[in-house]
């Protein structure tokens, strides 16, 4: 399993941007409140093959669990070049692990994670590529696009095209693009997973 810089004994002050009165922007992995959809929230166990922790707002695969393990729900694996049928969320996921170096709640292999299936009708904030953010000025979110893919290398939603082969196409709809005030997830060169406040985020109907 790939190492993440967990140091439970290190202490520091609060992370930047955690306490403010700014209400503009989206938070990656946050599913919007919807009384008709909230009961579609699912919980599953991250498969042992998951080589590093996951966080809210990433594409995953919901798989049928081994009969001896399905008490914990479906088995969850990372999205592959051919499949992505769900997105993880932070809703009700109070068990996420944060440390001094990792301000984003993380969910390791063997633990549980919450998610919504594609087709559930949930509205989820997801990180987007520059090509997707450009659609906000097009007047039509499908201009120049045949849909969207989950970029498994960069962990963002990208516009589907011939250049995005190798990434799974996802049947989702772009509702809004937020250019400022967002919290998106970034993994730095040292392996720490932190919040980024400078990148665009999209609200998608999945």
Residues 202 and 47: their CA atoms lie apart, in Å, by 28
pLDDT in tens, 144-203: 556 899 999 999 999 987 555 789 999 999 999 999 889 999 988 888 899 999 899 999
- What is the chain's alpha carbon radius of gyration, rounded to the nearest angstrom? 17
The structure's pTM equals: 0.85
* For range 60-70, the mean pLDDT: 82
Mapped onto helix, strand or coil, the DSSP state of residue 151 is strand
Query: CB-based contacts of 126: which residues, under 8 Å, 6+ apart?
Result: 28, 29, 57, 87, 156, 157, 201, 202, 203, 204
Distance CA 203, CA 206 (A): 9
Contacts of residue 66, defined as CB under 8 A and 6 or more positions apart, other chains included, come to: 75
Q: What is the DSSP code (8-state) at residue 61?
A: E
């Amino acid at each position: 399993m790939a190492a993440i810089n967990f140091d439970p004994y290190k202490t520091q002050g609060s992370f930047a941007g955690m306490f403010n009165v700014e209400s503009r922007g989206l938070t990656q992995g946050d599913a919007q409140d919807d009384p008709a959809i909230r009961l579609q929230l699912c919980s599953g166990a991250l498969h042992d093959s998951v080589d590093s922790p996951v966080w809210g707002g990433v594409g995953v695969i919901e798989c049928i669990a081994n009969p001896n393990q399905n008490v914990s729900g479906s088995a969850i694996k990372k999205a592959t070049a051919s499949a992505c049928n769900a997105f993880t969320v932070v809703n009700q996921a109070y068990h996420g692990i944060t440390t001094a170096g990792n301000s984003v709640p993380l969910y390791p292999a063997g633990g549980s994670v919450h998610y919504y299936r594609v087709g559930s009708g949930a509205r989820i904030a997801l990180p987007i590529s520059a090509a997707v953010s450009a659609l906000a000025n097009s007047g039509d979110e499908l201009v120049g696009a045949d849909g969207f893919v989950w970029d498994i290398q960069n962990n963002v939603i990208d516009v589907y095209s011939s250049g995005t082969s190798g990434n799974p196409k996802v049947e989702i709809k772009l509702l809004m693009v937020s250019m400022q005030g967002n919290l998106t997830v970034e993994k730095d060169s040292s392996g720490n997973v932190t919040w980024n406040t400078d990148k665009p985020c999209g609200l998608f109907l999945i």
